[in-house]
Structure 1
Amino acid sequence: MKRIALIGLVAGALLTTGAWAETAQQTRMKSCNAEAGDKGMKGDARKAFMKSCLSGTPDKASNPQQRMKDCNAEAGDKGLKGDARKTFMKSCLSNKAG
């Protein structure tokens, strides 16, 4: 009985001192992870998003939507159509990824 009371007392002390409280990094990781999940990101896109989210600096080059928008505009400016456009887009999107 004394052991149970002692364990309860120690656990209560730990909870009140904040020994089990989340750190700022853990809180940031939790929110970034939730945001990536809400956006349905997977693979390299998720990895790039998590890296920029956790560092706190937005990286437009790693944002897939921004890359697509930029490459699409560039292909339109060049007047590319069909297979030439497809090849250009593939190259453009892979070059801007890294």
Structure 2
Amino acid sequence: MRPLLHGDVSNAARALLAAPRRQRSALCRRMIDEAEAADVHVRRTGRLHPFWGNGSLMAAARSRRLADEPGFDDPDYCECFEMVLRALIEHKISRRRS
């Protein structure tokens, strides 16, 4: 996955916010996996992945419907933002152990 920036997290959180609550956790992990796969594809072929883009989490998220970005006074958005951050931390820890 390409280096992570604020926009990656906010776009992923917006994709989660647009999804049904019960599907958010699986969707979050799927977007991270898609970003990883797209990054491998780009490095191998020199071309964008046809579905998930350039290997950034933002590109994987933007392949979906996004909710309008609310402020941090929206508790649902905060939960989605936190879910993305926690999933990224878990992903980084599991990669270090591999």
Q: TM over 0.5, yes or no?
A: no
Provide the TM-score with structure 2 as the length reference: 0.31
**Which protein has greater RCO, CA pairs closer than 8 Å, 6+ apart?**
2
The structure with the largest helix share of the pair is 1
